[in-house]
């Protein structure tokens, strides 16, 4: 009788737990932005390192090498036609002569000159474009990003697709994707305002003492951190919004759930992505500057084209790791 009663009581307890599964579960920690609280760790496993993510991105690109090669040709032709201009190439020789004349004989040497020429080349990616060229560049980046995200997602699903399908079928979330890009621009406003105020104060001589400069530097760094905090979730939402039947608001909500307690890790991965890209440009373009100006221009154009599939692939891998 005692055995039967113990079994019956165990069944009653088990039934009570099934009806109220949260009765003895520890309450999950809650997090609110911009509030003082104890450090809360994410319940999932930590993200892989940036170096592992880079290798995984390269493997993802190698599996799509034929489509990415065709994409690079299409993107390069459109970039030359609408953004850079076929008949308006970057004249590296003129840039070098201008830098050498401004430096003078004492400071002019091949290493220093090529370093400054490289800086001028990087500046041509964003500056020196007219209003129409800037609009074409943004449109080309948006369309190409959508095509690459669709291509990578189909490859992960095991579907065999081509680059024509990527440009056709990958455009369905164009409007939601564009709206989130506008949101990213709005979230960058604190950093833009902070940069403007800091440069104005320092160059205008308003902050003279070391303490004043340090305070303004802290203010500038706080605006940068605020913008990066905001966009760390929105960048992931750019990947989420490309899913079928997804709206910007739902994508932002899903991205917030994925990035909770992991914004700092995502921020570090984005910083390392920028470091990888910068090192790649330095490793390939600067040696080409020592060899030939035409070769350096070709290498720089090729790197400007290849960097987009790598950056989108890295962010896609990061998004998949958050799932």
Buried b (16+ CB within 10 A) or exposed e, 86-110: eeeebebeebbeebbeeeeeeeeee
Asked if residue 1 is part of any domain, the answer here is: no
62-80 residue pLDDT tens: 999 999 999 999 998 888 8
Residues in the chain: 323
Per-residue pLDDT tens over the stretch 112-132: 676 777 777 776 665 556 667
For residue 315, the tally of other CB atoms under 10 A from its CB is 24
User: At what angle are helices 92-103 and 293-322 packed, to 10 degrees?
Assistant: 100
315: in domain: yes
Is the alpha carbon torsion for 40, 41, 42, 43 positive or negative? negative
Is residue 100 included in any domain, yes or no?
yes
For residue 80, the 8-state DSSP code is I
Q: Provide the sign of the torsion angle of the four alpha carbons 143, 144, 146, 151, taken in this order.
A: positive
Closest CA to 242 of 148, 160, 157: 148
Residue 60 domain-assigned?
yes
89 φ, ψ (degrees, to nearest 5): -75, 165
Q: In whole angstroms, what is the distance from residue 53 CA to residue 320 CA? A: 11
Is there a domain that residue 14 lies in?
Answer: no
Give the model confidence (pLDDT) of 205-250 as tens digits: 777 777 888 888 899 999 998 998 889 899 999 999 999 889 999 9
Tell me the pLDDT band of 166, cut-offs 50, 70 and 90. Answer: very high
Predicted local distance difference test score (pLDDT) of residue 187: 93
* Report field, pTM of the whole predicted structure over 0.85: no
**68 in any annotated domain:** yes
Number of domains forming the structure of the chain: 1
C-alpha separations of 293 from 3, 77, 118, 125, 214 in Å: 90, 21, 11, 18, 42
Residue at 32 is within a domain: no
Q: Which domain holds residue 78?
A: 49-322
292 in a structural domain: yes
Within 8 A by CB and 6+ apart from 286, the residues are 114, 115, 118
Looking at residue 109, its pLDDT comes to 55
- 């902070």: which residue's tokens? 194
């Amino acid at each position: 009788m005692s055995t039967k009663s113990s079994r019956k009581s165990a069944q009653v307890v088990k039934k009570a737990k099934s009806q109220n599964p949260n009765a003895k579960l520890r309450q999950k920690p809650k997090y609110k932005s911009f509030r003082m609280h104890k450090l809360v760790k994410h319940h999932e496993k930590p993200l892989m390192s940036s170096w592992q993510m880079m290798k995984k991105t390269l493997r993802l690109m190698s599996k799509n090498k034929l489509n990415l090669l065709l994409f690079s040709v299409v993107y390069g032709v459109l970039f030359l036609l609408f953004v850079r201009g076929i008949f308006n190439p970057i004249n590296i020789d003129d840039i070098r002569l201008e830098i050498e004349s401004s430096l003078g004989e004492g400071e002019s040497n091949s290493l220093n000159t090529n370093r400054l020429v490289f800086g001028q080349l990087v500046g041509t990616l964003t500056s020196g474009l007219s209003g129409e060229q800037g609009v074409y560049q943004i449109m080309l980046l948006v369309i190409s990003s959508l095509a690459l995200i669709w291509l990578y997602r189909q490859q992960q699903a095991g579907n065999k697709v081509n680059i024509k399908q990527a440009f056709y079928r990958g455009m369905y979330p164009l409007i939601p994707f564009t709206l989130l890009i506008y949101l990213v621009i709005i979230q960058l406003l604190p950093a833009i305002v902070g940069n403007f105020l800091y440069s104005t104060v320092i160059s205008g001589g308003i902050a003279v003492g070391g303490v004043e400069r340090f305070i303004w530097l802290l203010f500038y760094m706080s605006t940068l951190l605020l913008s990066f905090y905001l966009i760390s979730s929105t960048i992931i939402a750019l990947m989420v919004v490309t899913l079928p039947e997804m709206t910007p608001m739902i994508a932002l909500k899903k991205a917030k759930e994925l990035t909770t307690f992991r914004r700092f890790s995502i921020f570090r991965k984005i910083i390392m992505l920028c470091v990888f890209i910068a090192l790649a440009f330095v490793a390939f373009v600067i040696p080409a500057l020592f060899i030939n100006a035409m070769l350096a221009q070709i290498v720089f154009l090729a790197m400007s084209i290849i960097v987009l599939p790598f950056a989108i692939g890295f962010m896609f891998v990061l998004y998949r790791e958050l799932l």
